[in-house]
Amino acid sequence: MLDVRRLRVLREVALRGSIARAADALGYTPSAVSQQVAKLEREAGVPLVERGPRSVRVTTAGRRLVEHAEAILERLAQAEGELRELGGAPRTLRLASVTTAAVGILPAALTRFAAVRPHVEVVVEEADPLVSLARLRSREVDLAVVYEYDGVPLPSESRVTLDVLLEEPLRIVLPAGHPAAKQRAVRLPELAGESWIRSTPRSSCHPFTERVCRAAGFEPRFRVEVDDYAAMQELVASGAGVAFAPDLGLTRVNPGVAVRPVAFGPKRRILAACRTGEERSEVVVAMLVALREAIASREPLFPALAGAS
């Protein structure tokens, strides 16, 4: 019989794209994850992953097994929830969120939620949108705050309902002394000769910079990949390249960079995701209201740039 814990490990490897990243997410060592996958392959009798030097690819059999694993994990989570209710456990709202929303929106939203639902415990985990949606499908979380970029839409899912909370522009982050920093708005073709900094393949928005630059008529030259916006700003300030960033990723601006609008530029949307049919749950609705109120109460980060084009 297939081991449920090993199915969970395989699902995490499929989501993360590498043994090391799955190990980080699960709190295991990479060696332990490799051993669990190898044991599952022996149980299944077929190869489930193909290992590369820095990543793994899930085989066709592995993908089919991951689909079954999600259904199994969903039923287990549902059973655990029902048992908690029968045992009189306090109500819990499990929330997954992208980092920028967790920093820029969630603190105020959690305060507002606690004021109207003081007896509901909120458990928050940080996760990339694709990971959050998988956890939502398998009932490991009840609500997810995710993003999608122009040119990199989220997959359409009949089991998930998406609700746009916020649309924000993508800014260009330049070294403070860059000639384009003097412009009211930067036109992307002017940056065709620059080195670029983009997110790593761990992020679901990884293809964004390449796609938007190609749409502007040039092939970007990438020098660095990094997911942390503070680190990205340090790199830009050092002259390593230029980069895109959303407003929520720029709550603290490095003095060594300039932030400029992009003429007719792309946008990013912050969305709330819940399981279809559960969008009217009282607890989910209360958190959605809190999120919207937190967003509405925020001061513009770059009021001087508003309307620039």
pLDDT above 70 for 89? no
**Stretch 149-160: mean pLDDT:** 89
Is residue 27 domain-shared with residue 48, that is, in the same domain?
yes
Q: What value does the mean pLDDT of the chain take?
A: 90
Is residue 250 domain-shared with residue 108, that is, in the same domain?
no
pLDDT above 90 for 12? no
Task: Give the per-residue pLDDT at 18.
Answer: 85
Is residue 276 domain-shared with residue 150, that is, in the same domain?
yes
Is residue 238 domain-shared with residue 121, that is, in the same domain?
no
Distances (CA, A) of 305 to 132, 180, 183: 32, 14, 11
Is residue 262 domain-shared with residue 273, that is, in the same domain?
no
Distance between CA 208 and CA 214 in Å, rounded?
Answer: 10
Is residue 96 domain-shared with residue 67, that is, in the same domain?
no
Q: Is the pTM of this model over 0.85?
A: no
Domain limit, last residue, from 24, 43, 76: 76
Higher pLDDT, 156 or 65: 65
Is residue 161 domain-shared with residue 295, that is, in the same domain?
yes
Task: Give the per-residue pLDDT at 9.
Answer: 92
Distance between CA 186 and CA 51 in Å, rounded?
Answer: 42
- What is the percent of the chain where pLDDT is above 90? 66
- 10 Å CB burial of residue 193 (0-12, 13-18, 19+) is exposed
159-208 tens-digit pLDDT: 899 999 999 999 999 999 999 999 999 999 999 999 999 999 889 999 99
pLDDT interval class at 305 (50, 70, 90): low
Q: Flag whether 306 is in a domain.
A: no
How many domains does the chain fold into? 3
Residue range of the domain that includes 34: 4-76
pLDDT above 70 for 239? yes
Is residue 173 domain-shared with residue 262, that is, in the same domain?
yes
